Structure 1
């Protein structure tokens, strides 16, 4: 049976319409799938970049906090050093003032004579030598000559040992020295410095911790106490 031209034409149109519909559906399917893949890829990229950004700013925040801690620590250390320096300067000023006042001791004849006798006697017991040479200030030569027999006799009485003590009259203590003596063995190998400055230095070393507590209070961070 032969189809008429109209029927053939209708069938062709119907086939074309079917193909076009299939093609449109396929295009929509491809577009939908492409959009889904695009959204998935975009979401993945966005999440990856978000993580990177968060990690970057977390590192920046940690670095900022670290820098802040370092800066704070440096400021505290600098402040602590300034406080310690101020304390040391204050104590030094006190010791310097005390040293300046040592001169008043040597200006008090009775007090200085007794002190000088004690310093010479102590030097004899420290040296324990048969022959001793004494160096003093030039202005103290006469005073040392006066008290020397008393110190020598006291040493002999307590030790049973005689000692020959002579004054060095060719070399004297510095003009800046406020008093006292330097004593050496006959061979010069042993020396005892009993000047007022040396005694002050020795005493200041011994009382330095107590002096700091008196001026600045007890250090609560100190674990051990002598």
Structure 2
């Protein structure tokens, strides 16, 4: 009977066992809590990083949008400014050519010099066409002056090309009265025509002189490397 545990011994053993189980449970609970806290902190860190990245991405997107809008607005302003400059330059060129047209119109006021101009224009037209029968179209007011130089033109034509030239001033067709001056030189069948009016000659000269005139009026462009 000496090996038999008493009730008090049993109770003591039970208390030890309960205490052990309780201690194990507490330690397990602490481990679970620590692990849970770690996982929570990890997840919280992930969420914080994700939210931070999302916020940064949002702000970067907004900044890019704002920068894009700024660049577009700046580009529009630059284009508008360039357009205004081009329009102003175009107006200056128009004014220059308008003044040139007025001066051309005044050239016909001097009969002596204008008669010589008509002769040269008719001569140039005749050599360009190089036909033996030509018609000259003038303003009504210029018909007599043009007629007075035809003999000289025919003589020089024949001397240069070694063939005769029959050239007349048209009595059926005339240039408009508001034409600045000059002539049309054409074949009798009107299939070939050389426009030697002041307006056309000015347009041709303006086209040829335009690049140089731009430089004279506005200076060289930094963007252009070559000039016609």
| Structure 1 length-normalised TM | 0.90
Alignment of 1:98-137 (within 5 A): 98-137=100-139
1:79 to 78, 81, 91: 81
Q: In structure 1, what is the equivalent of residue 151 of structure 2?
A: 149
CA separation in 2, counterparts of 1:42 and 1:163? 105
CA separation in 2, counterparts of 1:110 and 1:188? 30
CA separation in 2, counterparts of 1:158 and 1:19? 134
Q: In the alignment, is residue 18 of structure 1 matched against residue 20 of structure 2? A: yes
Q: In structure 1, what is the equivalent of residue 32 of structure 2?
A: 30
Deviation at 1:142, TM superposition (A): 1.6
CA separation in 1, counterparts of 2:156 and 2:27? 130
CA separation in 2, counterparts of 1:205 and 1:33? 88
CA RMSD of aligned residues (A): 1.9
Alignment of 1:166-205 (within 5 A): 166-205=168-207
Deviation at 1:112, TM superposition (A): 1.2
**Which ranges in structure 1 are unaligned for 5 or more consecutive residues?**
none
Deviation at 1:73, TM superposition (A): 2.8
| Structure 2 length-normalised TM | 0.89
**Which ranges in structure 2 are unaligned for 5 or more consecutive residues?**
none
Contact kept? 2:211, 2:227, Cα under 8 Å:
no
Q: Name segments (4+ residues, structure 1) moved above 4 Å.
A: none
Q: In structure 2, what is the equivalent of residue 97 of structure 1?
A: 99
Moved more, 33-42 or 51-60: 51-60
Q: In structure 1, what is the equivalent of residue 64 of structure 2?
A: 62
1:42-61 deviations in whole A, cap 9, x for unaligned? 11222233233333433443
Q: Secondary structure at the match of 1:221?
A: coil
User: How many pairs align?
Assistant: 226
Q: Secondary structure at the match of 1:223?
A: coil
